[in-house]
Amino acid sequence: MEKLVSSWGNNVKALPHNYIFPPELRPGNNLKISFTTNIPVIDLSELENHHHRFQTIQKIIKASEEFGFFQVINHGVDINLMKETRKVMKELFEMGDEYKQKLYSEDPLKPCRLYTSRPTYATDDNLHLWRDSFIHPCHPLDQWQHLWPQNPTKYREYVGACSVEVKKLASRMLRLISEGVGLECEYFEKGGLSGSMLVSLNHYPACPEPSLTLGVSKHSDPNLVTILLQDYVSGLQVLHNGQWIAVEPLPDAFLVNVGFQLQVH
């Protein structure tokens, strides 16, 4: 299990050589990061007010076009469910090595697997990201839930319940975006483009030398939308007008990321 950062990362004092990025790719090098600018925050409760509905939808469209990202609050997902889901996801990476070995796989075709990451653009096969990931399908729930981990004992319950609510939220966002650009509200549902959904958990243990490595490489998501539940530590950055913006994690918010498929449509 030495491959999983969560199994050994907290016990090291210096970064292993295969986690040290070339100087030109290290975080902060040749980059300016803004901690004062932030991506838009949209209050979905304003949709209930007939007079504010149009303006709120236009805020979503503008944020999608200008940033490709926005945070939503008052989204309808139970706050306690969000907290318990965060908690049980963290517990998964704190399970013993023997148990995590059963979940570990380097086979990208295995639907439910725990793995450690490397940057897709790396020419050096030994270069790794300071991150472990766990991924599995979650929709339709009854088709996939039995493949999920049985431990932590509440994993299936909370992640299942939360994934159902997030699927509703994603569908709602797609309908609002469709309406905002003049399409039929159920354009994506009728086109069969919004049927699948994955849960992807990223875990970043405390790093002894964070200035030398990365947890996630710069990238764009290929799907329609990503609904991200952040923890309470600022780490995510969004590229806007050539400048990286540090995204402030709002405790009860979801972050919406517009993917390539939605941009194409």
Residue 8 domain-assigned?
no
At 35, is the pLDDT very low, low, confident or very high (cuts 50, 70, 90)?
Answer: low
Comparing CA positions, the residue from 7, 21, 9, 15 lying closest to residue 214 is: 21
Residue 24 domain-assigned?
no
What is the distance between the alpha carbons of residues 5 and 172, in angstroms, rounded to a whole number?
36
Q: What is the mean pLDDT of residues 217-234?
A: 88
41 or 217: whose pLDDT is higher?
A: 41
Residue 17 domain-assigned?
no
DSSP 8-state class, residue 233: S
Residue 259 domain-assigned?
no
Which residues partner with 135 through β-bridges? 113, 200
Question: What are the Cα distances from residue 244, in Å, to 36, 52, 54, 145?
Answer: 11, 31, 30, 37
Q: How does pLDDT run across 71-101, given as a tens digit for each residue?
A: 999 999 999 999 999 999 999 999 999 999 9
Comparing CA positions, the residue from 15, 76, 52 lying closest to residue 205 is: 15
Span of 158-167, 188-197, 238-247 with lowest mean pLDDT: 188-197
41 or 243: whose pLDDT is higher?
A: 41
Number of domains, the chain: 1
Residue 7 domain-assigned?
no
Angle, vertex CA 20, rays to CA 18 and CA 25, nearest 5: 125
DSSP 8-state class, residue 147: G
The per-residue pLDDT of the chain, averaged, comes to 89
Q: Is the model's pLDDT at 160 over the cut of 70?
A: yes
Burial class (CB in 10 A: 0-12, 13-18, 19+), 1: middle
Three-state SS for 256? strand
Residue 19 domain-assigned?
no
183 CB-near residues (< 8 Å, 6+ apart): none
The span from the first CA to the last CA of the chain, in angstroms, equals 42
Using a pLDDT cut of 90, give the percent of the chain over it: 62
Q: What is the mean pLDDT of residues 50-60?
A: 93
Q: Is the model's pLDDT at 50 over the cut of 60?
A: yes
Q: How does pLDDT run across 99-125, given as a tens digit for each residue?
A: 999 999 999 899 999 999 877 666 667
Residue 115 domain-assigned?
no
The residue range of the domain holding 44 is 40-105+129-254
Residue 160 domain-assigned?
yes
CATH number at residue 220: 2.60.120.330
